[in-house]
Amino acid sequence: MTTRPKTSDPVTPRVIADLRSDTVTTPTPEMRDAMAHAAVGDDVYGEDPSVNELQAEVARLCGMEAGLYMPSGTMTNQVAIALHTRRGEEVVCAEGSHIYEWELGMMAAFSGVVPRFVPAPLGVPAPEEVRAAVRHSVHQSPTGLISLENTHNKAGGTVIPLEVLAGIRAVADAEGLPLHLDGARVFNAAAALSVPLSEITRHFHTVSVCLSKGLGAPVGSVLVGRAEHMRQAHRYRKMMGGGMRQAGVLAAAALVALRGGPARLAGDHRRARVLAEALVNAGYDVNLAAVQTNIVYATIPDAAARSAAWARSGVLANALGPDSVRFVLHHQIGDEALEGALRVLTA
């Protein structure tokens, strides 16, 4: 079995650790084997057995009726927004939410809706703030959806406490609004809280679950919810170009990730802690309270130049602001790779 090099970046002679994202993982030999032997069919007709198995398994883990496999988390989120909203409405979401910040204005472009941010210290919006942001007046754009992100990427991979989820669900029920979860890293949240996934997902009407982040699948996310919602979602997925035909080759790898991935997340979280504390000891500013899962944001002066220098020494991390660098742990960074990375980062 051949594995591809971790990067094709010509300026990087040897990659010690690729900490740019948990999306950079490559399929394991077990995944490639499952892909080679996957049962497939035309998924637009609902006839791909591997896709159907994946959808059913994610739905079951989330305590939902049905699931729909899509090529990306952007698509599962935007299909959910299309499902729940009408043109001219607002989506109430935590400040910094991926559905707005990193999904290229798609909520406006596809669904004709706009975001209304609520404050979210450490990525956690207070139920009262969510309630205050909901609008029904004829003079204002009405709220169509409340959407949460757990873990919250831009806040540093932070986890929403279960009682806050219950509080926001109570607001949604009182206001007659649907509640969506961008659960790109909901498995990380479940691991951090040591609870089954369904303890988190049961508060939501739809959940987008990413398989190609921490779980390590090469491609895809699954949207879960009521069967009726998934029938509608099927149409929106096709409109967005997400009808993938014999997608079972991908779903087979995703099933391997789904079955083996969650148990490895605690290790990623432990290594994120080690990295964060080492950066602090090296004199960098890290908000350790935000280091709850597999993401570490550090304040690094001249972030772009610093990360370019580290890249030349084989450690890749994204500068996400003039003085901010993000490090993301994943299952292809073991203790040894982390040690190697720390030698470069703290030199």
Ligand X SMILES: *Cc1c(COP(=O)(O)O)cnc(C)c1O
Residues binding ligand X (CB under 6 A): 72-74, 77, 98, 149, 153, 182, 184, 210, 213, 221
- End-to-end CA distance of the chain: give it in Å, rounded: 36
* Least distance (Å) between residue 337 CB and ligand X: 22
Kindly tell me which of 197 and 278 has the beta carbon lying closer to ligand X: 197
Comparing CB distances to ligand X, the nearer of 59 and 80 is: 80
**Token duo for residue 151:** 């873990």
Sign (positive or negative) of CA dihedral 43, 46, 49, 50:
positive
* Closest separation in Å from C-beta 141 to ligand X: 24
Assess contact for 325 and 300: CB atoms under 8 A. yes
Can you tell me the distance from the alpha carbon of 140 to that of 323, in angstroms, rounded to the nearest whole number? 38
C-alpha–C-alpha distance, residues 88 and 329, integer Å: 39
Q: From CA 311, how far away is CA 58, in angstroms rounded? A: 36
Looking at the DSSP assignment, which residues form a beta bridge with residue 319?
325
Which secondary structure element, helix H or strand E, spans residue 210, and what is its range? Answer: strand 206-210
By beta-carbon proximity to ligand X, the closer residue of 94 and 256 is 94
Taking the complex as a whole, how short is the minimal distance between the CB of residue 103 and ligand X, in angstroms? 7
We find the least distance from the C-beta atom of residue 326 to ligand X, in angstroms, to be 11
- What's the closest the beta carbon of residue 85 comes to ligand X, in angstroms? 18
- Secondary structure of 27-90 as H, E, C letters: CCHHHHHHHHCCCCCCHHHCCCHHHHHHHHHHHHHHCCCEEEEECCHHHHHHHHHHHHCCCCCE
Tokens, residue 196: 């089954």
179 or 342: CB nearest ligand X: 179
Contact of 344 with 314, CB cutoff 8 Å:
yes
How far is residue 248's CA from residue 255's CA, in Å, rounded to a whole number?
A: 10
Nearer to ligand X, 40 or 210 (CB): 210
In the complex with ligand X, the residue whose CB is nearer, 107 or 184, is: 184
Cβ closer to ligand X: 84 or 98? 98
Q: Closer CB to ligand X, residue 125 or residue 314?
A: 125
Q: What angle separates helix 248-260 from helix 49-62, to the nearest 10 degrees?
A: 30
**DSSP 3-state of 175:** helix
| Residue 2 contacts residue 25 (beta carbons within 8 Å) | no
Locus of tokens 């944001």: 297
CB of 217 to ligand X, least distance (A): 11
Q: Which is nearer to ligand X, 16 or 295 (CB)?
A: 295
Residue nearest to ligand X (CB): 73
Question: Shortest distance, CB of residue 151 to ligand X, whole angstroms?
Answer: 8
